[in-house]
Homo-oligomer: A and B are copies of this chain.
């Protein structure tokens, strides 16, 4: 049976309040009392019940980590960093796998039942409304990899996806590709929409370049592969901007299967720069999201809004950069 505060109080011969205070930083206790209590607690192997105390304090230090990207290797890195950073900040991640579900109400209710202090939404595909449902219920929320907007509706940490689209377009244009296709993620995903917008903007500055779009079913290998297999049956573009790295790898796979050489016959550029993209077998040229600082920042932001009722929504944007590897041809001389 686990020891309780009362056991410690009895053993140390003090009141229960005294024990409680001994474990509370900054509480009004004499050093002597604290020593006595901690000694007794140690001897009994007592540690306070965080959930019981949450009843009165109203804080659990539990944070919902909600995602629907459990098939994208990029998100393994995301989970690794989030769990580490949250732990370091004294918070505990309660993991929620959204898989197919896109109705926020059920998740919201579950989070409320477990009295999480806040929610981190780690998803690049869910609409803003999803995060907003949490905010509307008064739940502190940070949307990581969410959509940026001039007047953010919830706290967002991410990149400017429109700019990422522009960067992709610029990169392809610079290398002299004249016919390019955006092999995008799901049409409904905000990242898809934004990157498409940026890509088109940039392309409108190069009227000599023929531009097209195709949508994948998901950010997944299979989607990248099947979409590319489909594209192969039509007249091919010279280069493909893929919605993310895992789509790129699927596309690469389809191309190699058909003996189409990369980058000699067609070029590929992705987004994310997950660890795997640097593997020599893959060697993908891609637009890098700086996830370390992003995630650190998301956790900081969460920590700062947790107990601050009227924090005003803030967007923290990070800039991407191009990581040149072996799937695009070099910039032509002169």
A65 interface hit (Cβ, 8 Å): yes
Least CB distance, A264 to chain B, in whole angstroms: 17
Residue among B2, B51, B221, B280 making CB contact with A279, cutoff 8 Å:
B221
Chain B residues closer than 8 Å to A114, beta-carbon distance: 50-51, 62, 92
- Contact A49 B113, beta carbon cutoff 8 Å: yes
**In this complex, what residue of B is CB-closest to A58?**
B2
Chain B residues closer than 8 Å to A191, beta-carbon distance: none
In whole angstroms, what is the CA distance A71 to B81 when docked?
Answer: 10
In whole angstroms, what is the CA distance A65 to B250 when docked?
Answer: 31
In whole angstroms, what is the CA distance A271 to B154 when docked?
Answer: 44
A127 interface hit (Cβ, 8 Å): no
A23-65 interface with B by 8 A CB criterion: 47-52, 54-55, 60, 62, 65
In whole angstroms, what is the CA distance A257 to B65 when docked?
Answer: 39
A78-127 interface with B by 8 A CB criterion: 79-80, 83-84, 87, 92-97, 99, 109-110, 112-115
A308 interface hit (Cβ, 8 Å): no
Assembly stoichiometry (copies): 2
Residue among B65, B84, B95 making CB contact with A99, cutoff 8 Å:
B84
- Contact B92 A94, beta carbon cutoff 8 Å: yes
Chain B residues closer than 8 Å to A51, beta-carbon distance: 51, 54-55, 60, 114-115
- 11 more A-B contacts (CB under 8 A) besides A50-B115, A221-B279? A47-B112, A50-B114, A51-B55, A52-B55, A55-B55, A83-B95, A84-B97, A250-B279, A253-B279, A256-B281, A281-B282
Chain B residues closer than 8 Å to A96, beta-carbon distance: 83, 87
Least CB distance, A132 to chain B, in whole angstroms: 17
A249 interface hit (Cβ, 8 Å): yes
A302 interface hit (Cβ, 8 Å): no
Chain B residues closer than 8 Å to A60, beta-carbon distance: 51
In whole angstroms, what is the CA distance A75 to B112 when docked?
Answer: 28
Residue among B49, B50, B115, B221 making CB contact with A49, cutoff 8 Å:
B115
If A49-B115, A60-B51 touch, whether A75 touches B73 (CB-CB below 8 Å) is no
In whole angstroms, what is the CA distance A96 to B83 when docked?
Answer: 7
Chain B residues closer than 8 Å to A282, beta-carbon distance: 281
A276 interface hit (Cβ, 8 Å): yes
Chain B residues closer than 8 Å to A50, beta-carbon distance: 113-115
| A–B Cβ pairs within 8 angstroms, 17 of them | A47-B113, A50-B114, A51-B54, A51-B60, A71-B76, A79-B79, A80-B97, A84-B97, A84-B99, A94-B94, A94-B95, A221-B276, A225-B280, A249-B279, A253-B279, A253-B281, A256-B281
